[in-house]
Amino acid sequence: MVVAERGITERVKKLRHQSENTAPSITIERAQLVTEAYRENADSVSAPVLRALTFKHLMENKAVCINEGELIVGERGPKPQSAPTYPELCCHTVEDLDLISKRNKIAFQVSDEVKNAQEKEIIPFWKGRSMRDKIFKRMNNNWHACYKAGIFTEFMEQRAPGHTVAGDKIYKLGMLDIKEEINAELLAMDYTNDQDAYAKAEQLKAMAICADALITYARRHAVRAREMAAVESSAERTRELEQIATICDRVPAAAPETLWEALQYYWFVHLGVITELNTWDAFCPGRLDQHLEPFYQKDLKESRLTTYSAKELLQCFWIKFNNQPAPPKVGITLKESGTYTDFANINLGGLRPDGKDGANDVTYLLLEVIDEMRLLQPSSNIQVSKKNPDLFIKKAAHIIRKGWGQPSVFNVEAVIIELLRQGKTLVDARSGGTSGCVETGAFGKESYILTGYFNLTKVLEITLNNGVNPADGTLLGIETGNPRYFKNFDQLLSAFERQLNYFINIKIEGNQIIEKLYADQMPAPFLSLIIDDCIKNARDYNAGGARYNTNYIQGVGIGTITDCLSAIKYHIYDQKRFNWDEMMYCLDKNFAANEVMRQILLNKTPRYGNDDDYADSIMQQVFKIFHGLIDGRKSIRGGTYRINMLPTTCHVYFGSVIGATPDGRFAGKPLSEGISPVQGADFKGPTAVIKSASKMDHLLTGGTLLNLKFSPAVLEGEKGLNSLVHLIRSYFRMDGHHIQFNVVDADTLRKAQNNPEEYRNLIVRVAGYSDYFSNLNEELQNEIIARTAHAKL
Amino acid sequence: MKKGLIFNIQRYSLHDGPGIRTTVFFKGCPLKCQWCQNPEGIDTDVELFRHNQKCIHCGSCMTHCHEKAIDLTDSGPLVNRQACNRCMECVDICPTGTLEMAGKEYSVNEVVQAALKDILIYEESGGGVTISGGEPLLQYEFLLELLLALKKLNIHTAIETSGYCSWEKIKEISKITDLIYYDLKLIDDNSSRIFTGASNILIMDNLERLVISGANIVVRMPLIPSVNDTRDNIEHTAGYLSSIGVKCIELLPYHNLGSVKYEGLDLECPFNYRPNSELIRQASVIFEANGIYITSEG
């Protein structure tokens, strides 16, 4: 299957081709530079300054790359598709590198030099010093047992906190302006009365070093561009290279004045953030359409650009995201995780800070870019407010209908109420949006870190076994009673609540230690430049310097646990069709001798996703318990705990650690994803699914994820397109947070599974992000096929 | 309160009227159109329906049946329709849903409650409730009460009818419902008797009267290969519509997705043609040449 290269101009086509066809590889450059910087400075300076000097060393020495024909410059590695490593966070073993280079999916080329350097230089220096080693050493036995059993995951053992998004600051201030702010704070420091003054000053000095370092990095690109211009044969390209040089001299030192400068400035900041540390969700420009609009209009007015040339710039910008595969993980997480996606998620539409409709000319231009580029990265979403016209949603729906998974759709009014409930101001809430998969945040002003997925169904399994983990027979939880003696369903729920509380305490105790380790030892002075009010507070992003600080724990498998509890309530307590002995026996035997019972559990139980209050009210009870145990707790950096309901791909891993469950699920099979119903449990169509899902109080969360899969036939024609808009509006009227659509038929997917070569370009929505179908492992592929196709014949 | 016999309540219906709708399928039909794709909608009583592909051969149904009406074969349950007394206990017993009940009694309020589940979605999409079948007018009193109840709630309603009923009944219904989808299958009475089991005189008579009364009607024609797709029938239909003042028609493509349902009911499938998407285009040309516009659905 020959696919014509996408892109508005030949240049874009070539760059896109390069991005799509370059094999990802690992570069040792960053690991070596970081190791050099630590050898030089680790024992002589404070932690923030050490991190700043490390950043400076990177910015002064990392290779400068300007690809042929490109307009926006700068790569994370020495070339496109080259991923650096972060040994100060987690250090790959030689075996890890072997696995990365040899596996079929999500592979990275690893040269012998890289392996050799890793073994001889990097591993010996970082053994015991990486954050991962330190974290694992500090966690107690209970934590380790739970982690191993798959009760929860830990986000910060492989990547740094980040989970944040740029606001509008960088479009107004250059790094030199920001340095002035820093100097003003330094001058105002009160060393005699403020006991934190020394620490604050160290932090501010570190930030200033980082601001200079980014300017240096940009100017190195200017130098390179001029060198290239000197030997360039094409007059047109020579002019472009000279222009690139001028731009890199100006930004990020000064505030941008044109669209090109604004894009280049953001891109340097992006590279700064993801080079400083391997932050979760990489980094993201957030409300890009609103940030760029003034530059775009000014350029048009002053004839610097046409819509056509603006689009070319934006397409070049898009490709830069796609050139940066997510750095591979280590250890067991490496085996489980499979995506090149680094979760930058661009927001379009929504409201302006003053509450007016935010969809503008750039919004529509970007929708065209998304459609024409069809790239894995960056991810994109539309922010839908009641004030946005249907025209806006329809334009996006045209793209959604094509079935490659972008953009996803968010409810602005819900996001704003979620943020207000958490104490943000109205303006900060309106300037916020969603990032990563579905996470709500006040852009440019909040550190909202995800700390780990929580396996709700595993906790139920342990409750059913009176605290014992049936996987290995050990007492993992607390003894909350043998369910056989529970007189009613409420007793079971209350046992589950006590069990859950026990595990959440273990998780949060662990989180506190990790948070302190990051605050003390792994500050992010560069990221702190970008996020308000780190400078004003003279505090690091990782130490609570942001205006708002939030910690999330993400509940996984609400559909599965609801169906499990519904099956128990319905068949054991209400209908008395089975008793506890029969149930526990069948679960223990993985339904080996009793397919009849399994079928009854599957087919004759009120299940979540069908707008049936019997099941949906149980979902509400579980949600209330989970929310009640977490929401409002305090973290040591001054943050507040909240919940999210999203899985990424963790529902597959979490399912693999759970035996057979009362909903008729076989041992080891995936759990339900996000707040979607169990795969195949919903049979009343999409309106019933959105009704069930909206019975959860989304406004008490920081994000929920609902996936609806359609066969293309359903969405055909004007009528089908309108129905998509109406489903979105209806769900959002019921306070739904997010909805995404997979538009492919099962046959197409099966064909793609059997002939991956022919379907290399097939992108599907996984869970809050899209991926190439051919890159998913078989289990995930099967799951996507199994998700109910709401096909109407 | 009168109860209605209903064989399906389908949410998220996009093709039975404006917006997103809930379609309520009334069970029982006075016609026997050979191409019928909802055979479970014809009989006026509850029926036992088999989905044998779901069967796991557990034998629960056979063991439980008081009338010994079920035998288990390699391909799933075999129902002796004469012996079956339609008690439907096997439906509850069956673990997989292989055995299903086609048709269930509902009160007006139960249907209204089911319809209200998507009221927000009707409001957002300009949708509502469509009563289909079977033939809704066969359960006239229940239909009347249901439409009145929905009207009271300001929910948009539509009915899909064959028009085969007394004028008095359809007249009353036309005053309440917002939209009538009216099937015009065959213009020749003899063919109508052969293919639908009934004369079309009443159907055409009712249509003319409805047009005169000013009711909101959409005339529909399911286009059935080698039954009513002939140039002759289409030209006659177009001429007839012009003569009574109807300017447009909606054409429905024939499909054979319901043929498997006959097996589930142990009925002979009387008609099974390959669908042909060309037919609609060809018929459209003839209609338009004869002054009748083609409207797309909804």
Chain segment A563-622, per-residue pLDDT in tens: 999 999 999 999 999 999 999 999 999 999 899 999 999 999 999 999 999 999 999 999
Grade residue A784 by pLDDT with cuts at 50, 70 and 90.
confident
- Could you tell me the two tokens for A40? 């030089």
CA separation for the pair A679, A681 (Å, rounded): 6
The yes-or-no verdict on residue A630 having pLDDT over 60 is yes
Residue A722 CA, distance from chain mean position: 30
Report the range of poorest mean pLDDT among A15-24, A337-346, A586-595. A337-346
Largest CA distance in chain A: 85
Looking at chain B, how many residues does it have? Answer: 298
Residue B255 with chain A: CB contacts under 8 Å:
793
The yes-or-no verdict on residue B53 having pLDDT over 60 is yes
User: Domain B3-44+104-296 belongs to what topology?
Assistant: TIM Barrel (3.20.20)
Tell me which DSSP letter residue A698 carries: G
CA separation for the pair A782, A777 (Å, rounded): 9
pLDDT for the residue numbered A679: 81
The answer to whether the CB of A167 falls within 8 A of the CB of A283 is: no
pLDDT for the residue numbered A29: 98
Average pLDDT, chain A: 94
The yes-or-no answer on residue A437 being catalytic is yes
Interface residue B259 vs chain A (CB under 8 A): no
The yes-or-no verdict on residue A430 having pLDDT over 60 is yes
Sequence letter at residue B172: E
CA separation for the pair A551, A510 (Å, rounded): 13
Q: What percent helix, strand, coil does chain B show, rounded to 5?
A: 40, 25, 40
- Could you tell me the two tokens for A587? 């679960």
Cβ neighbours for B98, distance < 8 A, ≥ 6 positions apart? B50, B51, B52, B54, B55, B61, B76, B77
Residue A394 with chain B: CB contacts under 8 Å:
none
The yes-or-no verdict on residue A773 having pLDDT over 80 is no
CA separation for the pair B189, A449 (Å, rounded): 74
The distance of A353 to chain B (nearest Cα, Å) reads: 27
* Residue B180 CB burial class (10 angstroms; 0-12, 13-18, ≥19): buried
The answer to whether the CB of A212 falls within 8 A of the CB of A175 is: yes
CA separation for the pair B22, A716 (Å, rounded): 19
CA separation for the pair B254, A630 (Å, rounded): 56
The yes-or-no verdict on residue A789 having pLDDT over 80 is no
Q: Supply the ipTM of this predicted assembly.
A: 0.95
Report the range of poorest mean pLDDT among A2-11, A304-313, A647-656, A727-736. A2-11
Interface residue B206 vs chain A (CB under 8 A): no
- Calculate mean pLDDT across residues A460-464: 98
Residue A270 CA, distance from chain mean position: 15
pLDDT for the residue numbered A764: 67
Interface residue A687 vs chain B (CB under 8 A): yes
- pLDDT top residue among A486 and A341: A486
* Among A406, A413, A407, CA closest to A433: A413
Buried b (16+ CB within 10 A) or exposed e, A201-240: bbbbbbbbbbbbbbbebbebbbebbbebbeebeeeeeeeb
pLDDT for the residue numbered A778: 77
Bridge pairing between strands B21-26 and B128-133: parallel
Cα separation of the two ends of chain A: 30
Instruction: Return phi, psi of residue A290, to 5°.
Output: -75, -40
Tell me which DSSP letter residue A23 carries: P
The answer to whether the CB of A630 falls within 8 A of the CB of A501 is: no
Which of A5-9, B26-30, B73-77 tops mean pLDDT?
B26-30
The answer to whether the CB of A49 falls within 8 A of the CB of A220 is: no
Contact check, Cβ <8 Å, A687/B298: no
CATH 3.30.70.20 fits B47-102, yes or no: yes
Ranges of CATH 3.20.20.70 domains, chain B: 3-44+104-296
Q: Which residues pair with A765 in a beta bridge?
A: A770
Contact check, Cβ <8 Å, A685/B12: yes
pLDDT for the residue numbered A770: 57
The yes-or-no verdict on residue A440 having pLDDT over 80 is yes
Interface residue A26 vs chain B (CB under 8 A): no
pLDDT for the residue numbered A788: 40
Out of A70, A185, A240, A439, which one is annotated catalytic?
Answer: A439
Instruction: Name the one residue in this structure whose structure tokens are 């149904």.
Output: B61
Contact check, Cβ <8 Å, A611/B117: yes
- pLDDT top residue among A682 and A4: A682
The yes-or-no answer on residue A446 being catalytic is no
Q: Which residues pair with A452 in a beta bridge?
A: A553
Identify which of A714, A726, A792 has the shortest CB distance to residue B125: A726
Share of chain A above pLDDT 70, in %: 96
Interface residue B197 vs chain A (CB under 8 A): no
Interface of A with B in 729-748 (CB under 8 A): 729-730, 733-734
Nearest CA in chain A to B120: A730
The yes-or-no verdict on residue B298 having pLDDT over 70 is no
Grade residue A766 by pLDDT with cuts at 50, 70 and 90.
low
CA separation for the pair A88, A522 (Å, rounded): 9
Residue B57 with chain A: CB contacts under 8 Å:
none
Which tens digit of pLDDT belongs to each residue from B259-297? 778 989 999 888 877 777 788 899 999 999 999 999 875
Other beta carbons less than 10 A from residue B148's beta carbon: 12
pLDDT for the residue numbered A705: 97
Interface residue B117 vs chain A (CB under 8 A): yes
Sign of the dihedral through C-alpha A600, A603, A609, A615: negative
The yes-or-no verdict on residue A220 having pLDDT over 70 is yes
CA separation for the pair A75, A314 (Å, rounded): 17
pLDDT for the residue numbered A563: 98
- pLDDT top residue among A647 and A543: A543
pLDDT for the residue numbered A7: 95
B258 membership: H or E segment, kind and range: none
Instruction: Return phi, psi of residue A704, to 5°.
Output: -135, 160
- Could you tell me the two tokens for A209? 């070093």
Contact check, Cβ <8 Å, B12/A790: yes
- Calculate mean pLDDT across residues A424-433: 98
The distance of B19 to chain A (nearest Cα, Å) reads: 7
The distance of A577 to chain B (nearest Cα, Å) reads: 11
Give the three-class secondary structure for B83.
coil
CA separation for the pair A527, A37 (Å, rounded): 19
For Cα atoms B209, B212, B215, give the angle at the middle one, nearest 5 degrees: 90
Ranges of CATH 3.30.70.20 domains, chain B: 47-102
* Among A680, A690, A786, A667, CA closest to A740: A690
* Among A450, A391, A366, CA closest to A159: A450
The yes-or-no verdict on residue A761 having pLDDT over 70 is no
- In total, the C-beta contacts within 8 angstroms joining chain A to chain B are 68
The yes-or-no verdict on residue A145 having pLDDT over 50 is yes
- Calculate mean pLDDT across residues A120-136: 97
Grade residue A324 by pLDDT with cuts at 50, 70 and 90.
very high
Identify which of A599, A687, A714 has the shortest CB distance to residue B121: A687
Interface residue A494 vs chain B (CB under 8 A): no
The distance of A182 to chain B (nearest Cα, Å) reads: 51
pLDDT for the residue numbered B279: 87
pLDDT for the residue numbered A757: 61
The yes-or-no verdict on residue A335 having pLDDT over 80 is no
Interface residue A714 vs chain B (CB under 8 A): yes
Contact check, Cβ <8 Å, A793/B255: yes
The yes-or-no verdict on residue A765 having pLDDT over 90 is no
The yes-or-no verdict on residue A1 having pLDDT over 50 is no
- Calculate mean pLDDT across residues B117-133: 97
Which tens digit of pLDDT belongs to each residue from A348-381? 999 999 999 999 999 999 999 999 999 999 999 9
